[in-house]
Structure 1
Amino acid sequence: MTVTIRPAVTAADRRAFVDLAWALYADDPNWVPPLKSEVHGLLDPKKNPWFEHAEAAFFLAERRGKPVGRISAQVDRLVLEAPPEQGMGPGTGQWGMFEAADEEAAASLIARAEQWLRDKGMTRAQGPFSLSIWDEPGLLVKGHDHAPTVMMGHHNPAYQAWVEAAGYKGVKDLVTYELDITYDPPPLVRRLLTSGGRDPSIVIRKVDKSKFDAEAAIILGILNDAWSDNWGFIPLTDAEIAYAGKKLKPIVFEDLIRIAEVDGEPVAFMITLPDLNELTRDLNGSLLPFGWAKLLWRLRKPKVRTMRVPLMGVVKRLQSSRLAGQLAFMMIERIRLASVANYGATRGEIGWILEDNSGMVAIADALVTNINKVYRVYEKPL
């Protein structure tokens, strides 16, 4: 039957846009229902400060009045201002929030997003980004056989063929590494830990949650320096930092976030989060009527199988030095020990990491990890 595409503009449309995932993934044992309040907040210009420098349109695909797909199309001023050699820049429009029941719906949705981007003067389309590279970037092309960790996407395996059939080519893979965190450190890592422990200039400290804003400013300062040359890097605005901090504060645990100082100067950080998906999966996306109480109780002293490392970084001037790796392993070891002892975790996931980030790939290889998920960013000229 013919698919029709229409903008999702009313409150009822937005509910249908969000709720569609529950219908499409009802039989997928590895899909984890997101909290609906979080998804609605992402799409709401009144709540999400990303809209201060970007605009987006949301579209529903319907067949006989029943939703069978969705997509966003977005233009971000900060993406347009990014250096072209870092993968984005002038003329780059993006799409995301992509879900479809079949290839016909997928093709129609992608075509509609492309037309919206052309109408905005864009000359190439990238996707998926839901909604930015700091949210859920890339299409899952490997690792559909196990559940995603907190803040990572999960997609129907058929989507890869449908996106590529629409003329898209992969431009960058974002990978995650998994490892058994009950291990004894390999000999090379043990030597680095021993020598680092003897160096009085190095301090690896926990964050102080009572000084959350100041600690967040230190971490974001290191992040903006460490990641500034990376493919796809888009700086977070002050409003976005405050928004992210407000959302993350309830799941910040002091022994899981470390800052490395050398001669009193903060030069590296590592953020680790308990896999919140393990704690919310049975809530089916709703905090009402009693989901919020269950979640608050579970967050008091969470016990999880998996810890995720979404962010770590070392200031640019140290990145090619032996000290950079040493600091990374010292932070990893302290967080590993805390994760096992205090949270009962046995598994870690590091990422996402750019496929060609040689420094992070070397660290992952030294820890005897394996790539468990690959998220691919696609691109097409318009």
Structure 2
Amino acid sequence: MARFCALPGLGSLSPQSVQRHAPDDSLLLEQDGTASARCSLWWRAVPALPGERIGLLGHYAAVDIDAATRILHEACERLRASGCTLAVGPIDGSTWRRYRLITWRGDEPAFFLEPDNPDDWPLHFTGVGFMPFANYFSERCDDLEAYPADTKLAARLHEAGYRARPIEMHRIQDELSLLWRISTESFSRNLLYTPITEVEFKETYAPLLSVVRPELVNIFEHHGEPVGFLFALPDMLQAARGIPVDTVILKTIGVLPAQQGRGLGNWMTDFTFVAARKLGFRRAIFALIHETNVSRRLGRGQMRDIRRYTLFARHLGKV
């Protein structure tokens, strides 16, 4: 497993992560004693899709297109032999983990928590018959001062009993449990959704706590009951490049299904942008939005696409 993880891929991968992700199979291609491609496969605990039996392909990495072609053909054959009719990837077993490839880079530098990949990796997939399955975007607002907050909406929701509060760092484990409960309910209708345990959810967010600004992570309540949250973070990659951190990243927006359609997403965004301006941030990035997600409408004409991503799929036919 150490050799499997040593091959550079979409971020770091450890044997412990592979074990926790529990793939049904893992493949490692070696050429002349050197690892040249890898992937893992899932076909048991996978999301449902009407008319298909999905197999997932993740933990992907390949040093060149020849190695990619060999391992992707073998992966598809194993999924087909396991009864799958549709291979989807790259996705590390769940949309809670790494998935998708950058397919249009634009001129914006990478931002904090954004997954990256070599520019030729999409060709690895399309070269063996994969087609786009879902498309995603990241968008940027260049001037938070010019963003038109909806004050009437805020007043209406306040009158109806809605309030916002910052996350309470002194009881962060309880707060993360709350975010997990809201997330699992809010995202249950998302494409390729599968549940996540509370333990893994907390493990995902734990590394981010050192850079959290409580003013940017807010829980939204209705008559004291939590109904949504917005998790935003400073773009720490700006600091790594030696430039002022003037950009805030909207990482996750969750609203309980029973509360959707009331304008909460707009209000939560407005609230976060006001908080970000007070902290001195000038720009904002909506990160990794599905092309049909309502979040695409939160920009009110102030956003522009800075990156595009694609999740791929290939029909496998019948066993």
TM-score (normalised: structure 1) = 0.73
- Following TM superposition, by how much is the alpha carbon of 1:219 offset from its aligned partner in structure 2, in angstroms? 1.8
- Helix, strand or coil: the match of 2:281? coil
Distance 1:306 1:274 in 2: 6
Tell me which of 51, 57, 63 is aligned to 2:26. 57
Distance 1:163 1:332 in 2: 36
Tell me which of 56, 60, 63 is aligned to 1:94. 56
Matched, 1:315 2:256: yes
1:227 is matched with 187
Alignment check: 8 A CA contact 1:181 1:340 kept = no
Matched, 1:347 2:268: no
Mind listing any 5+ residue stretches in structure 1 that lack a counterpart?
1-8, 22-33, 283-301
CA RMSD of aligned residues (A): 2.9
Alignment check: 8 A CA contact 1:71 1:95 kept = no
Matched, 1:115 2:77: yes
1:185 is matched with 147
Distance 1:41 1:193 in 2: 48
Alignment check: 8 A CA contact 2:43 2:79 kept = no
1:337 is matched with 274
Which amino acid counterpart does residue 233 of structure 1 have in structure 2? Answer: Y
Distance 1:220 1:181, change over 3 A: farther
2:66 is matched with 104
- Following TM superposition, by how much is the alpha carbon of 1:207 offset from its aligned partner in structure 2, in angstroms? 0.8
- Helix, strand or coil: the match of 1:137? coil
Matched, 1:16 2:6: yes
Distance 1:193 1:335, change over 3 A: same
User: Percent of aligned pairs with the same residue?
Assistant: 21
Distance 1:281 1:114 in 2: 40
Distance 1:303 1:214 in 2: 33
* Greater helix content: 1
Alignment check: 8 A CA contact 1:204 1:330 kept = no
Which amino acid counterpart does residue 338 of structure 1 have in structure 2? Answer: A
- Following TM superposition, by how much is the alpha carbon of 1:360 offset from its aligned partner in structure 2, in angstroms? 1.7
- Following TM superposition, by how much is the alpha carbon of 1:148 offset from its aligned partner in structure 2, in angstroms? 2.7
2:48 is matched with 83
Which amino acid counterpart does residue 55 of structure 1 have in structure 2? Answer: D
Which amino acid counterpart does residue 265 of structure 1 have in structure 2? Answer: E
Which amino acid counterpart does residue 227 of structure 2 have in structure 1? Answer: V
2:37 is matched with 70
Matched, 1:159 2:121: yes
- Helix, strand or coil: the match of 1:151? coil
Mind listing any 5+ residue stretches in structure 2 that lack a counterpart?
none
Alignment check: 8 A CA contact 1:73 1:117 kept = no
Residues matched between the structures, number: 316
Distance 1:185 1:373 in 2: 21
Which amino acid counterpart does residue 295 of structure 2 have in structure 1? Answer: M
Measured against aligned partners, the alpha-carbon deviations of 1:42-76 in whole angstroms (never above 9, x if no partner) come to: 6342xx3x33xx434142453x4444x43312216
- Helix, strand or coil: the match of 2:295? helix
Alignment check: 8 A CA contact 2:5 2:15 kept = no
- Helix, strand or coil: the match of 1:183? helix
Which amino acid counterpart does residue 242 of structure 1 have in structure 2? Answer: K
Measured against aligned partners, the alpha-carbon deviations of 1:210-254 in whole angstroms (never above 9, x if no partner) come to: 121222222222222221111111111122123224333323321
Measured against aligned partners, the alpha-carbon deviations of 1:295-341 in whole angstroms (never above 9, x if no partner) come to: xxxxxxx9623322121121112212xx3x2x323322332233344
Matched, 1:360 2:288: no
Matched, 1:208 2:142: no
Distance 2:288 2:276 in 1: 19
1:175 is matched with 137
Distance 2:303 2:137 in 1: 12
- Following TM superposition, by how much is the alpha carbon of 1:166 offset from its aligned partner in structure 2, in angstroms? 0.6
Which amino acid counterpart does residue 375 of structure 1 have in structure 2? Answer: Y
- Following TM superposition, by how much is the alpha carbon of 1:110 offset from its aligned partner in structure 2, in angstroms? 1.0
Matched, 1:377 2:311: yes
Distance 1:72 1:278 in 2: 32
Distance 1:355 1:334 in 2: 24
Distance 1:175 1:217, change over 3 A: same
Which amino acid counterpart does residue 98 of structure 1 have in structure 2? Answer: Y
Distance 2:126 2:109 in 1: 24
1:26 is matched with none
- Following TM superposition, by how much is the alpha carbon of 1:90 offset from its aligned partner in structure 2, in angstroms? 6.8
Distance 1:116 1:17, change over 3 A: farther
Distance 1:368 1:74, change over 3 A: same
Which amino acid counterpart does residue 263 of structure 1 have in structure 2? Answer: H
Distance 2:212 2:48 in 1: 33
